[in-house]
Amino acid sequence: MKSTEKRLPSFREVSNTIQRVDGWLTEHEARYLYSLAQYGPGQGAIVEIGSWKGKSTILLAAGSKSAGREKVHAVDHHKGGPDQAGLGYQDVNTEIDFRKNIKSAGIEDQVIPLVMTSTRAAQGWSGPIRLLWIDGDHSYEAVKTDLLLWEPHVVEGGVIAFHDTYAWEGPRRVVEEYLLRSNRFSILGFVDSITAVKKTQRRSPWDKIRKKIILLIRYLYILGRQHILPGEIRKWSKSCLRVMASAR
């Protein structure tokens, strides 16, 4: 007798699906985001700030669903912004494509769209969050506002992850000023342009040593990106950061 239970898609299948979805994620970033949703610590909702057409939403929802975990609250007004305008997207409305893509991916039941600004969504939010993914407006003030509004809802042991934390000044500055210099967060990993930290007051001596090592390698990677160090150093440090990244 055949089972009527619906088989959950593997990461490889999800990866093939998102190839058809407009967005900006490397393969390594996609796998890491999926893993954070699947294995990440803490209990609570997954909140995504900035969905665009659903590429990262699909990864988060599929990863969480594969482990029988929480739904994704996808926050986006779907009208684009200065970041997209600078890339040639003018007068956009991505909501139709977003809904079509999450339905085609088979994870529509795992996503709760919040079609509004991040500020408005935060004003009505009261529940615990175990994974906060910030990839909305990349201006410094907007990224800082997203973090300050949503971080209080992230549970102890929960994860905060940012996209585009090298090439874009806003995410880079917020990560460096509010997360990497703080003792309230331990580093989970740097995977390509993703920075992920865990909110925790308890850090072991090894955590402190690991942070120093991983920040040193990150610094070498930044110098490589700026062509101050040879390209081989950039490639080596980037690979090291990927290997050292943890989803838990």
User: What is the residue range of 85's domain?
Assistant: 11-202
pLDDT in tens, 49-99: 999 999 999 999 999 999 999 999 999 998 877 665 555 565 678 899 999
Q: If you compute the radius of gyration of the chain from its CA atoms, what whole number of angstroms results?
A: 18
Structure tokens at 217: 């390698």
Residue 61 within a domain: yes
Residue 29 within a domain: yes
Average pLDDT, whole number, for the chain?
A: 90
The residues carrying an active-site annotation are 138
Q: What is the pLDDT of residue 220?
A: 96
Q: What is the pLDDT of residue 3?
A: 43
pLDDT in tens, 112-158: 999 999 999 999 999 999 999 999 999 999 999 999 999 999 999 99
User: What does each C-alpha distance from 10 to 25, 111, 133, 197, 230 come to in angstroms?
Assistant: 18, 18, 21, 25, 38
Q: What is the pLDDT of residue 165?
A: 95
Residue 209 within a domain: no
% of residues, the chain, pLDDT over 90: 75
3-state helix, strand, coil in the chain (%, to 5): 50, 15, 35
Residue 64 within a domain: yes
CA-CA distance, 90 to 85, in Å (whole number)?
5
Q: What is the pLDDT of residue 1?
A: 39
CA-CA distance, 168 to 83, in Å (whole number)?
10
% of residues, the chain, pLDDT over 70: 92
Mean pLDDT of 231-246: 95
Helix 55-66 with 11-18: angle, nearest 10 deg: 170
Q: What is the pLDDT of residue 161?
A: 98
Residue of 161, 78, 67, 64 whose CA lies nearest to 110:
64
- Residues, the chain: 248
Q: What is the pLDDT of residue 89?
A: 60
CA-CA distance, 90 to 80, in Å (whole number)?
8
Residue 27 within a domain: yes
Q: What is the pLDDT of residue 58?
A: 94
Residue 215 within a domain: no
89 versus 18: which is more confidently predicted? 18
Residue 96 within a domain: yes
pTM, two decimal places: 0.91
Residue 143 within a domain: yes
The CATH number of whichever domain residue 197 belongs to comes to 3.40.50.150
Q: What is the pLDDT of residue 9?
A: 66
- Rounded to 5 degrees, φ, ψ at 116 are -170, 175
Q: What is the pLDDT of residue 122?
A: 97
Q: What is the pLDDT of residue 88?
A: 58
Looking at the structure of the chain, the number of domains it has is 1
